[in-house]
Amino acid sequence: MSNVPNDENYHSRFMTEAFKYADEAYNIGEVPIGCVFVHNGKVVAGGRNATNETKNGTQHAELIAINKLLSPQNSTHFTPQMFKETTLYVTVEPCIMCSYALRQLGNSDSHTTLFTF
């Protein structure tokens, strides 16, 4: 688990970034889900749903962000240990597919926003 401060402003800052990705998804007709991965207090990757746009049901925000982290073009060169030290901020609870992918990568620290209607 990452060592993140127990500070509401700290978490709000990153959740706001996740909502920016969700808003981007909403504006193009996607399910409005967004996320960011944070490592050492810095956003290292983000993603938004792209299932409608790509006609591919696996293009969830979390998986897109994971692909960005694992991309050879990523200058950070993420290691398995770094995933364990990374916090995920996501606008809704990850689905079973995304939860399993996060588990396989060793990510155990996530923050979600849940709304009650």
Residues with a catalytic annotation lie at: 62
Name the CA dihedral angle for 114, 92, 111, 14, rounded to a multiple of 10 degrees. -100
DSSP codes joined into one string, 3-58: -----HHHHHHHHHHHHHHHHHHHHTTS---EEEEEETTEEEEEEE--HHHHT-TT
Helix (H, G, I), strand (E, B), or coil: what is residue 62? helix
Q: Which of 46, 26, 35, 30 is nearest to 113 (CA)?
A: 35
